[in-house]
Amino acid sequence: MITIKTATEVEKMRIAGQITAGALSKVRDMLAPGVTTMALDTAARSYIEKHGATPSFLGYRDFPYSITVSINEEVIHGLPSSRKLMEGDIVGIDIGAFKDGYHGDMCRTFAIGKITPEAQRLIDVTRQSYFEGIKHARVGYRLHDITRAIQSYAEAAGYSVVRDYIGHGIGRNLHEDPDIPNAGAKGRGPALAKGMTLAVEPMINAGRFEVYTRGDNWTVVTKDGQLSAHYENTILVTDEEPLCLTLFDD
Ligand code: MG
């Protein structure tokens, strides 16, 4: 069942989203060659806790950390570790904060130092596929109109869209109805209604769409070893443009 949030609930989600974005901003400021991904996790957790919230991912399905850090061919769910960022890496930071009963969830893919034009283009197309998608995230459209817009934009750019992991409704639960596929939608999906809160999150691969999970049981990587990028915000559906609840100065 897709829940419709009241104005009071939306305000709580906006606050959770602001903390999420603040923590991501803190992490972004640290990104440089030589920084360990565990240092990013520690900083994010401490920012979130300082703001009276808890990291949404910590303990979720026994996930042991507060953020996920997915580097280069890693698609999502990369584990913080002693691994050091390197010049030329692209790094997806996925982060969530839970405050006063509600979650915020977002992701950005960042460049470490100088990256190749190909890697930059993948980041840019992934970001734009999100914006193409959310043009349809308003009353008058159906859920899979978002999906189709993401897929057609990314594929027209020569990339492929991850099938096995998808966006989702969000609110009291980190993941709630509806599922929001980024590709391969069948039918048009439910009509979008005012007060729905959605985490729209295209995951775009430079090569083929197939992925697998590494032996750590978390890190999802591209099967062909090519780069992957990810972009996500938590949004509120309205009669007009969706309201971004995880506002971040990109
Ligand atoms: Mg999400």
Do residues 58 and 98 lie in contact, with contact meaning Cβ atoms separated by under 8 Å?
A: no
Q: How far is the CA of 83 from the centre of ligand 1 (A)?
A: 24
Question: What's the whole-model pTM score?
Answer: 0.98
Q: How far is the CA of 50 from the centre of ligand 1 (A)?
A: 22
Q: How far is the CA of 47 from the centre of ligand 1 (A)?
A: 19
Q: What is the pLDDT of residues 94-113, one digit of tens each?
A: 999 999 999 999 999 999 99
pLDDT of 64? 97
- Is 116's pLDDT higher than 90? yes
Sheet with 228-230, side-by-side order of all strands: 160-161, 203-205, 228-230
Q: How far is the CA of 165 from the centre of ligand 1 (A)?
A: 9
Q: What is the pLDDT of residues 45-83, one digit of tens each?
A: 999 999 999 999 999 999 999 999 999 999 999 999 999
Q: Whole-angstrom Cα distance, residue 131 to residue 236?
A: 14
Do residues 202 and 125 lie in contact, with contact meaning Cβ atoms separated by under 8 Å?
A: no
Q: What is the pLDDT of residues 172-203, one digit of tens each?
A: 999 999 999 999 998 899 999 999 999 999 99
Q: How far is the CA of 106 from the centre of ligand 1 (A)?
A: 6
pLDDT of 186? 87
Q: What is the pLDDT of residues 195-250, one digit of tens each?
A: 999 999 999 999 999 999 999 999 999 999 999 999 999 999 999 999 999 999 98
* DSSP state string for the chain: -PPPPPHHHHHHHHHHHHHHHHHHHHHHHH--TT-BHHHHHHHHHHHHHHTT-EESSTTGGG--SSEEEEETTEEE-PPP-SPBP-TT-EEEEEEEEEETTEEEEEEEEEE-SS--HHHHHHHHHHHHHHHHHHTT-SBTBBHHHHHHHHHHHHHHTT-EE-SSS-EEE-SSSSSEEEEE-SS---S--SBP-TT-EEEE--EEESS-S-EEE-TTSS-EEETT---EEE-BEEEE--SSSPEESS----
Q: How far is the CA of 69 from the centre of ligand 1 (A)?
A: 13
Q: How far is the CA of 231 from the centre of ligand 1 (A)?
A: 9
Q: Whole-angstrom Cα distance, residue 162 to residue 212?
A: 11
